[in-house]
Structure 1
Amino acid sequence: ATRPRAGSGGREDPDLERALAWLDDLDAERRRGALTEAEYGVLATEARQEAALELRARDQEGVALLRLVDAWLTRAHQSAPQPGLVTPAAPEPCRDRHPLWWAVPAGGVALAFIGVLVAITVTGRATAGRQTIIGRVGASSVTAAAASHGDPQVIVATNPAGLARSADGGSTWSPVALGAPPLALAATGEGFVGVTAAGLKRSLDGATWTPASEGPALTQIASSRGGRALVGITATGEVLASSDGGSQWTTFEIPAPAGATGLAVVDGASPLFIVSTRDEGMLAGSGHEPWRSANGFVNGALPTVVVRAVHYEPQSGDRFTSAGGEAFVGAVYVATDAGVFKSVDGMQAWSRLGLVADVVALTSSAAEPRTIIAIARDGAVYRSRDGGVSWA
């Protein structure tokens, strides 16, 4: 729908623009099925309450804003695609102009509120009031975190000064004596693996660590959920994989993108590697062909190319099948300089989550795959028990 304008002289109204941007996000999220009707109802109710408070302060100008949003929603409802219609999405410029998949999910539900419609403002105040800091790591500049797949209460986080461990789901933390702290962390079926300047180190419980092997000089590491496979990126940009837990490594022919900040691996007959970067956003590939953009398309595109961390949760309960029959199972979460985002359709579209924090690390446990732990730059720890919908 065409966006209306408000204010004198036809100038754009900031509150209106923020409201419509959030409406776009909610509409896309609901259309893809990323939000259930129950989850959507909760968010819509809370948004209406906060918007009503904002509009009272606007007086007659707020009433005009409300009418413009009503008009936008009416047009959006009239132009909504019919069930079964597959809409092509044009890819954005990227290294390889072929996207991961070309089709978007069929069908959609028009975004509409029952009764009087109000503007949903994205000021951050409403969301911040619904989020809770559950603990603090005790150090700033956290660079990576991992939750135990066997015990979701055990979480480890690393920073330039050392390693910290929580045994109560992130509420309290204690330092771990490890010498050189890990540059990167990954949870495995047997515990944890950490990348240090002296090589790989392993731990069953996050408290006691032992050398695993000298191995390659890695800066990023990720593990497959289904086995002992590890994938890493070296300081020189090589992409390596190990099928035996890190004893032997194979080098892929395609180097890693520059400025990698995180790494995740999607299990499958042909594993998919997902890399977050500081200046190209999200990229994905198999290691055998050029990296492809995973920044999303049109209204579902990430609003930034500065991505600080990526986390893939294969057991989130999400499943997407493209028009060509290609399936993507699970959810991908990213922390960016513009907020935290989630994709459930193979990174064709991203939805902004409601957490307002300077997040630099994300993780979850196979034992509780819907529980997402987010750690901010200052060490504040946040938790969502519903896949990122709420953080209270």
Structure 2
Amino acid sequence: MIDRQPVPRPSPHRRRTRSRSAYALLTAGIAVLLAGCGGPAQPDTSPAAADTTAGLFDQVGHVHGVGVDPADGGIVIAGHHGLFGLTGEGTLAPRQDSPQTGGPDLMGFTVAGPAAYLASGHPAPQDTSTPNPLGLVRSTDGGATWEPVSLHGQVDFHALDVDGTAVVGLDATRGLLMTSSDSGRTWQERAPLAALDVALAPGDGTGILATTEDGVMASRDGGTTFTTVADSPLLAYLAWADDGTVYGIGPDGTVHASSDQGTTWQRRGGTASPPQAITAEPGGRLTVVTDDGVEQSTDGGATLQRLA
């Protein structure tokens, strides 16, 4: 169910000069998010896709999300062809029940608890019975199977975040933020938002950050209104750790951190190649999927080491 309410436009803001290459990467990412995908997941054989999915990510396709499962500390990566777990040998293993046929195109993905995930996107190519787009789906068996929660055939969330029963999602079709207070069963329409990623403040319910081509935007009223954070860095992806520190990574791989809900940011280290997804745990432990592999930090992004 969707509760439709009149929503104001984000407040006007001053544009700032940005690195052309980083700005172009973020703008392209937002354009892809807003365009959405027109059908079930299909292998992408374009040169650009080959460049960003070589080696480790051949079976994954485009990477759309990463998380750490509190059940076992395992790293899970969501992509164009389903959900995959990082093995101790540094390879990726499919999580779905039928790995030989591929899984759904998981455009939005977040870890909701031990072996419990929320996602959105499109059915697998061989799945002709599931509505497209998926709406919100849930797995309670570590990604082996998925069950519908809401908005089947209606909404394609390209970014999701969860904190307890609170869920936020970016509706890629309409460029609209949506929120839920009951684990995604019912939804409220919030502000129009041209963003690449969103993050929900832990234990708060009203604080939301978003990455846009003009910098970080913040909402302090549950997504009804957004304002640009003054002097914020250009970020692509966000991750809010349960200890209150929020991390962001720029299109060029530079990591930033904030301890005041995104009001001010401190520059940390950087990855060896452009990022595709980031997740954060308390104590400064970050996991970043890049174009070339998986990197991890145990010091809040000051240094990163290659895992795979």
Q: Which TM-score band (shorter chain)?
A: 0.5 to 0.7
Q: Distance in 2 between matches of 1:136 and 1:364?
A: 22
Provide Cα deviations, 1:233-277, integer angstroms capped at 9, x if missing partner. Answer: 21212322222211111222x22x22x211111145551111112
Change (3 A) 1:182 1:270: closer
User: Does 1:201 pair with 2:137?
Assistant: yes
Q: Cα offset for 1:338?
A: 5.8
**Between structures 1 and 2, the one with greater strand share:** 2
Give TM-score, length-normalised by structure 1. 0.53
Please say if residues 111 and 162 of structure 2, whose CA atoms lie closer than 8 Å, have aligned partners that are also in contact. no
Q: Distance in 1 between matches of 2:265 and 2:169?
A: 25
Which residue of the partner structure matches residue 102 of structure 1? none
Q: Cα offset for 1:163?
A: 2.9
**Between structures 1 and 2, the one with greater helix share:** 1
Q: Cα offset for 1:291?
A: 1.4
User: Does 1:249 pair with 2:184?
Assistant: no
User: Does 1:271 pair with 2:210?
Assistant: no
Q: Distance in 2 between matches of 1:165 and 1:370?
A: 22
Q: Distance in 2 between matches of 1:213 and 1:334?
A: 30
Which residue of the partner structure matches residue 12 of structure 2? 95
User: Does 1:156 pair with 2:84?
Assistant: no
User: Does 1:331 pair with 2:242?
Assistant: no
Which residue of the partner structure matches residue 232 of structure 1? 169
Q: Distance in 1 between matches of 2:280 and 2:205?
A: 23
User: Does 1:391 pair with 2:308?
Assistant: no
Give structure 1 regions of 4+ aligned residues with deviation exceeding 6 angstroms: none
Please say if residues 335 and 362 of structure 1, whose CA atoms lie closer than 8 Å, have aligned partners that are also in contact. no
Q: Cα offset for 1:385?
A: 1.4
User: Does 1:175 pair with 2:110?
Assistant: no
After TM superposition, list the pairs within 5 Å mapping 1:1-392 onto structure 2.
95=12, 136-138=56-58, 139=60, 141-153=62-74, 155-168=75-88, 171-177=90-96, 179-190=103-114, 191-196=116-121, 197-215=133-151, 216-225=154-163, 227-234=164-171, 235-252=173-190, 254-255=191-192, 257-258=193-194, 260-268=195-203, 271-277=206-212, 279-285=213-219, 286-287=221-222, 289-294=224-229, 296-297=230-231, 301-302=232-233, 305=234, 307-315=235-243, 329-337=244-252, 339-355=254-270, 356-365=272-281, 369-378=283-292, 380-392=293-305
Percent identity among equivalent residues? 22
Provide Cα deviations, 1:142-187, integer angstroms capped at 9, x if missing partner. Answer: 222122233322x22223344322254x933112445322101011
User: Which amino acid in structure 2 is aligned with residue 371 of structure 1?
Assistant: R
Secondary structure of the residue aligned to 1:250 is strand
Provide Cα deviations, 1:281-330, integer angstroms capped at 9, x if missing partner. Answer: 21111356531113x53xxx42xx4x321111132xxxxxxxxxxxxx32
Q: Distance in 2 between matches of 1:210 and 1:377?
A: 27
Q: Distance in 1 between matches of 2:118 and 2:205?
A: 23
Gaps of at least 5 residues in structure 1 are 1-93, 98-134, 316-328
Secondary structure of the residue aligned to 1:182 is strand
Q: Distance in 2 between matches of 1:270 and 1:230?
A: 9
Gaps of at least 5 residues in structure 2 are 1-10, 15-54, 97-101, 122-132
Please say if residues 284 and 298 of structure 2, whose CA atoms lie closer than 8 Å, have aligned partners that are also in contact. yes
User: Which amino acid in structure 2 is aligned with residue 377 of structure 1?
Assistant: D
Count of residue pairs the alignment pairs up: 232
Please say if residues 107 and 119 of structure 2, whose CA atoms lie closer than 8 Å, have aligned partners that are also in contact. yes
Q: Distance in 2 between matches of 1:246 and 1:289?
A: 18
Q: Distance in 2 between matches of 1:357 and 1:172?
A: 19
Change (3 A) 1:171 1:218: same
Instruction: Mark the structure with the bigger radius of gyration.
Output: 1
Change (3 A) 1:180 1:280: same
Q: Cα offset for 1:228?
A: 1.7
Give TM-score, length-normalised by structure 2. 0.66
Provide Cα deviations, 1:328-358, integer angstroms capped at 9, x if missing partner. Answer: x323323323622222233233233222321
Q: Distance in 2 between matches of 1:267 and 1:331?
A: 10
